[in-house]
Chains A and B, each alone.
Chain A
Amino acid sequence: RKEVEQDPGPFNVPEGATVAFNCTYSNSASQSFFWYRQDCRKEPKLLMSVYSSGNEDGRFTAQLNRASQYISLLIRDSKLSDSATYLCVVKFNDYKLSFGAGTTVTVRA
């Protein structure tokens, strides 16, 4: 079983729509959680950290459910520039990050 699993999508949504997707992780001792964004043929970049109480950053909302071991990301009022692959990332007890395979989102005009 992979440490971090994601629905690969793609999620094709119109501008202005809301899109949400999850990832699950296998290690219950995981300590920290993140969403990274990767544009086509570019490097991954941190989008946001995920806190236990849930958190927002503008149009992005992240949630963590430790009991069920899943993390979610919701994007409101989608923009064309939100088109990217979103990587779910989990950190255990040191500096090693485990990346999911990514969820592809395409926002169309």
Chain B
Amino acid sequence: DAGVIQSPRHEVTEMGQEVTLRCKPISGHDYLFWYRQTMMRGLELLIYFNNNVPIDDSGMPEDRFSAKMPNASFSTLKIQPSEPRDSAVYFCASTSIGYRSYNEQFFGPGTRLTVL
């Protein structure tokens, strides 16, 4: 089975540019999460969706960040304009309410973002 798919795996951009990160959750999963991981702050939840609807975006750092989930198999996280402090690894994860393993979240391989 395919796991969570993220693209691109690496992104290097210049300050001020728009960045779009993409995620395809595991088929059948109805929860999707976006996380950011840095050395300083660890793994932080940015936003999560249930059945394509954003449920909690309290972790989104500021208006420069936006996330969408137009359908059950695709989500994007956009940063516009990007800043050097946005440099981090961004993970997407998915799970299902009916999953046997106590809501285990399955993470994608992450997108390593560097903003110069």
Q: Is the CB of B42 within 8 A of A95?
A: no
Tell yes or no: B45 within 8 A of A by CB. yes
Tell yes or no: B54 within 8 A of A by CB. no
Interface size on A, residues (CB 8 A): 19
Q: Which B67-116 residues have C-beta < 8 A from chain A?
A: 91, 95, 101-105, 107-110
Looking at the complex, which one of B42, B56, B95, B107 makes contact with A101 (CB distance below 8 Å)? B42
Interface size on B, residues (CB 8 A): 21
> 1/0 per position for A22-47, CB-CB distance to B under 8 A?
00000000001010000000111110
Q: Which A90-109 residues have C-beta < 8 A from chain B?
A: 91, 94-102
Q: Tally of A-B residue pairs with Cβ under 8 A?
A: 42
Tell yes or no: B12 within 8 A of A by CB. no
> 1/0 per position for A44-72, CB-CB distance to B under 8 A?
11100100000000000000000000000
Q: Is the CB of A102 within 8 A of B104?
A: no
Q: Which residue of A lies closest to B102 (CB)?
A: A49
* Residues in chain B near residue A42, CB distance under 8 A: 109
Tell yes or no: B31 within 8 A of A by CB. yes
